[in-house]
Amino acid sequence: MASFDDNIFFATIGELNKKIKGGDFSLSELMRAFCDRLEKLGPRYNALALSLRERAVRQAKEVEGEIKRGRFRGPLQGIPFAAKDLLAVPGEVTTWGGRPYAAQVFDYEATALEKLRKTGAILLGKLSMVELAGGGGYRYANASLFGPGLNPWDRSRWSGGSSSGSGSAVAAGLVTFALGSETSGSILTPSAFCGVTGLRPTYGLVSRYGAMALSWTMDKIGPMCRSAEDCGLVLHAIAGGDSKDPGSARKSFYYAPRFAKELKEIRVGYAPVDFEEWPAPVARDAFRQALEAIRALGVQMKEVALPDLPYGLVTSTVIAAEGSAVFEELITSGRVEQLADRKQIAGLKAGRDILARDYLKAMRLRRIIQQAFRELLTDVDVLLAPARNSAASKISEPLDRGGATPAPKQPGMRPLIPAGNLAGLPALCLPCGFAENLPVAIQLVSRPFTENTILSLGKHFQSATDWHKKRPPVT
């Protein structure tokens, strides 16, 4: 069997595809090497939910035959990836991260996985997640059937939720890319904590058929990768209309950064307080340098602030009401007691008590929030802020602990994650440095269906910096 070093395991999609097309090695041997690594190191980070080795090796042989016959499907052909364990693979267990569903098997395939399979990308396994994608709210990182997601940069730290396994697996070089999901931060948070590039697409751009529902009006499927360019390539493959998803926007996406606005024409909105006061003191230098790196690209910078609206309250009301409806049978049957986190159990139960008038009021406020963003994004093209204000927390710490220092007087864009999810906006998470040897990241947010704008800006940022190329001390 051929020998593969870390340069292969940490290669981008483009780099790996070039070697595959060039016949540098057997694709079957490459898949076995990645499967070995995923099976060996995945449990070390509590990242692996299910290995799909036999399926992967079988598909690798098929793809290898296509390449030998000169049939090249595109840049994802032969690329190894894995998916969060809320996406259905026919005939295989899909646990949704929770003990009540530990033996759950579906006979159909999630649309996003089907689309990737048709590009020749090879699914190596299912990745761990916070139980039920965090529905009901949870207090500790160990709210998962697989234990707390451990960060490859420091295993005493959390990899982030709820796409914890996806963040760890990409960061540790176990797969070239992974699929995650976000309802309010579940792609951006693990991407930021693990130092990978993650993309939350516009609501409705990627089909959720075959994915566990938490909030019908807010759930999104997106890629977690090595670079902005890789995110664009994966989104190109998985986006598109789907009649099987009632929330589908029925729009396609074509990754075409060459047709994006020139840098000098892009208007970037930011709030100085987001970089000077809101971040943890040890992270401020990294965020200041990231802000200056964006400015140095030649974009137009403009100070902005989010309107004063109850983003957090609206988000929690919508997710709690919809999530408790989704999991009504779990709650009423009593099986909800099998979940690992007592706060989450209580939260799911409490969601059933939300009154219809309160849910409808939240949805009316959501429309106001969407209109506010439409107005804000006529003055600027992109919003820039830290993805998270600090590095990953310790797995032993409660996630709802309060801040140690007084909050700044100006809110800036601190609630951009819940606000952006309510408005259905795309966001790109970019590693931008370190705080006490742990990754930190910025986020770029733009108006709906303008992913090419943030991907282009992200690609330029990553051409000028090398934070996305840093590797954890995998042990």
Question: Largest alpha-carbon pair distance within the chain?
Answer: 64
CA gap 324, 144 in Å, rounded: 18
Condensed to tens digits (0 to 9), the pLDDT of residues 278-306 reads 999 999 999 999 999 999 999 999 999 99
State the CATH architecture for 1-475: Alpha-Beta Complex (3.90)
Residue 406 has a pLDDT of 79
Active-site hit among 166, 181, 186, 191: 186
pLDDT at residue 1 greater than cutoff 60: no
Residues whose CB is less than 8 angstroms from the CB of residue 472 and which lie 6 or more positions away in sequence, other chains included = 151, 152, 153, 171, 172, 195
Whether 151 has a pLDDT exceeding 90, the answer reads yes
What does DSSP say about strands 197-200 and 154-158: parallel, antiparallel, or unpaired?
A: unpaired
d(CA 93, CA 72): 32
Both tokens assigned to 314: 């609206």
Residue 124 Rama label (left phi>0; alpha psi -120 to 50; beta): alpha
- Return the pLDDT at 475: 59
Q: Contact at 8 Å (CB) between 136 and 351? A: yes
Q: What is the pLDDT of residues 58-69, one digit of tens each?
A: 999 999 999 999
Identify the band that residue 98 occupies on the pLDDT scale cut at 50, 70 and 90: very high
**Which tens digit of pLDDT belongs to each residue from 221-271?**
999 999 999 999 999 999 999 999 999 999 999 999 888 899 999 999 999
- Can you tell me the mean pLDDT for 110-127? 98
How far is residue 36 from each of residues 57, 119, 159, 190, measured CA to CA in Å? Answer: 12, 23, 22, 24
Catalytic residue among 128, 144, 159, 162: 162
Q: In the annotation, is 159 catalytic?
A: no
Q: Are 164 and 158 in contact (CB under 8 A)?
A: yes
Q: What is the pLDDT of residue 257?
A: 83
How many other β-carbons are positioned within 10 Å of the β-carbon of residue 318?
A: 25
pLDDT per position as a tens digit, 340-352: 999 999 999 999 9
Mean pLDDT of 209-215: 98
Residues 408 and 321: their CA atoms lie apart, in Å, by 31
The answer to whether residue 51 is catalytic is no
* pLDDT, tens digit (0-9, with 9 covering 90-100), for 422-435: 999 999 999 999 99
Residue 267 pairs in a beta bridge with 300
Mean pLDDT, all residues of the chain: 96
Cis, bond preceding 162 (omega within 30 deg of 0): yes
Q: In 120-241, which residue ranges form alpha helices assigned H by DSSP?
A: 164-171, 188-194, 228-238
Tokens standing for 293?
């790196």
Q: What is the pLDDT of residues 356-404, one digit of tens each?
A: 999 999 999 999 999 999 999 999 999 999 999 999 999 999 998 765 5
Where exactly are the structural domains of the chain?
1-475
163-175 confidence digits (pLDDT tens) = 999 999 999 999 9
SS3 100: helix
pLDDT at 405: 66
DSSP state of 205: S
In the chain, what percentage of residues exceed pLDDT 70? 99
Establish whether 166 is a catalytic residue. no
